[in-house]
């Protein structure tokens, strides 16, 4: 199954919804008239219509009735009333993809019923610039090609991995929360530059481009991070001196603990909801 020729509806048109609309159109996967959206903010919908030329539905049930793939992009806190509203319109012919963090497919099925074709995914914030990474959870009760459809949609905003649903909390702790960790690294590097005499704008440019370039180098060459570290660390040089300072601060353990603690919190929130 391919997304070409299909219609896609976004229940919720916030930042992530817009990122996906932008990605789908940029990749020429579907034309604007094959994308429909709803949102509680009418001005937001008018803005998306002006910018991208997509269709606007009067309400959520109408959207679900007229599309082939439904992307549920609402906050977890309001998901239950939204699900109850659209449940009568969600037939077996339609594929639903949920990006609601911490809401399991089992919980979705308690409202939508056991026959619903459901896929749960976890994208991250860099999807806003089409450089995200999305984890797609395997699920029961899907039609052949459904996972491929989800992969095709989310590949439009970055890279995709497919794994078991029980690992999505770890994904949340790593790539979901990870942009915040990297932002902290960039800010800290820039602060170091300012301390050493650089102006703030120059320090931020150097820090952000260094992080971007290092990540791209690892992705495109397949180098192990340790190999890149060794590549720039001359005996008795500046890089190894800086690395020693980072190791004194326990940087590896701190990052590992950050992912671990965020994963645990994701699990806790999933139980509370």
CATH number, domain containing residue 199: 1.10.3730.10
Claim to verify: residue 143 and residue 242 sit in the same structural domain: no
Long-range contacts of 171-175 (CB under 8 A, 24+ apart): 171/122, 171/135, 172/101, 172/102, 172/122, 172/262, 172/263, 172/266, 173/258, 173/259, 173/260, 173/261, 173/262, 173/263, 173/264, 173/265, 173/266, 174/259, 174/262, 174/263, 175/122, 175/124, 175/133, 175/135
> Does 1 reside within a domain?
no
Q: Average pLDDT of 66-94? A: 93
How distant, in Å, are the alpha carbons of 71, 196, 209 from that of 199? 44, 9, 16
Question: Of all residues in the chain, what percent carry a pLDDT higher than 70?
Answer: 99
Q: Among 43, 52, 86, which Cα is nearest to 66's?
A: 86
With contact defined as beta carbons under 8 Å apart, do 35 and 68 qualify? no
Share in percent of the chain as helix, strand, coil (round to 5): 60, 15, 30
Where does a domain end: 143, 171, 199? 171
The CA distance from 67 to 8, in Å, is: 6
Where does a domain end: 117, 152, 171? 171
Q: Average pLDDT of 38-52? A: 91
With contact defined as beta carbons under 8 Å apart, do 36 and 56 qualify? yes
Claim to verify: residue 19 and residue 134 sit in the same structural domain: yes
Q: Rg of the chain's alpha carbons, rounded to an integer?
A: 21
Claim to verify: residue 74 and residue 184 sit in the same structural domain: no
- Phi then psi for residue 36, to 5 deg, are -130, 150
> Does 162 reside within a domain?
yes
Claim to verify: residue 30 and residue 141 sit in the same structural domain: yes
Claim to verify: residue 45 and residue 26 sit in the same structural domain: yes
Could you tell me the two tokens for 239? 């890089």
Claim to verify: residue 188 and residue 258 sit in the same structural domain: yes
Could you tell me the two tokens for 234? 């001359």
The predicted pLDDT at position 1 comes to 57
Long-range contacts of 65-68 (CB under 8 A, 24+ apart): 65/89, 66/7, 66/9, 66/36, 67/7, 67/8, 67/9, 67/36, 67/94, 68/6, 68/7, 68/8, 68/93, 68/94, 68/95
Residue 84 pLDDT exceeds 90: yes
Confidence of residue 65 (pLDDT cuts 50, 70, 90): very high
The predicted pLDDT at position 40 comes to 87
Range of the domain at 35: 8-171
Q: Average pLDDT of 223-232? A: 96
Q: Average pLDDT of 159-169? A: 95
Residue 113 pLDDT exceeds 80: yes
| Exposed e or buried b per residue across 133-155, where buried means at least 16 C-beta atoms within 10 angstroms of its C-beta | bbbbbebeeeeeebbebbbbbbe
The CA distance from 63 to 184, in Å, is: 40
The predicted pLDDT at position 118 comes to 95
Where does a domain end: 171, 194, 217? 171
């Amino acid at each position: 199954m391919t997304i070409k020729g299909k219609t896609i509806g976004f229940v919720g048109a916030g930042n992530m919804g817009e990122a996906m609309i932008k990605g789908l159109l940029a990749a020429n996967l579907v034309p604007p008239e094959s994308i429909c959206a709803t949102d509680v903010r009418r001005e937001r919908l008018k803005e998306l219509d002006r910018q991208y030329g997509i269709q606007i539905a009067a309400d959520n049930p109408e959207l679900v009735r007229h599309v082939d793939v439904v992307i549920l992009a609402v906050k977890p806190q309001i998901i239950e009333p939204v699900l109850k509203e659209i449940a009568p319109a969600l037939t077996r012919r339609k594929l639903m993809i949920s990006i609601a963090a911490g809401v399991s497919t089992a919980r979705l099925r308690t409202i939508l019923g056991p026959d619903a074709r459901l896929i749960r995914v976890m994208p991250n914030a860099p999807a806003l610039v089409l450089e995200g990474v999305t984890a797609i959870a395997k699920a029961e009760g899907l039609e052949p090609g459904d996972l491929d459809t989800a992969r095709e949609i989310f590949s439009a905003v970055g890279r995709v991995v497919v794994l078991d649903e029980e690992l999505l909390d770890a994904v949340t702790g790593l790539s979901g929360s990870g942009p915040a960790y990297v932002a902290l690294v960039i800010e800290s590097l820039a602060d170091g530059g300012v301390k050493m005499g650089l102006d703030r704008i120059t320090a931020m440019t150097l820090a952000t481009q260094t992080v971007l370039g290092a990540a791209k180098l690892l992705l495109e060459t397949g180098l192990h991070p340790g190999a890149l570290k060794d590549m720039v660390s001359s005996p008795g040089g500046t890089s190894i001196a800086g690395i020693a300072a980072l190791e004194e601060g326990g940087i590896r353990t701190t990052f590992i603990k950050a992912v671990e603690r965020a994963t645990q919190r994701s699990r806790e929130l999933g139980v509370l909801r």
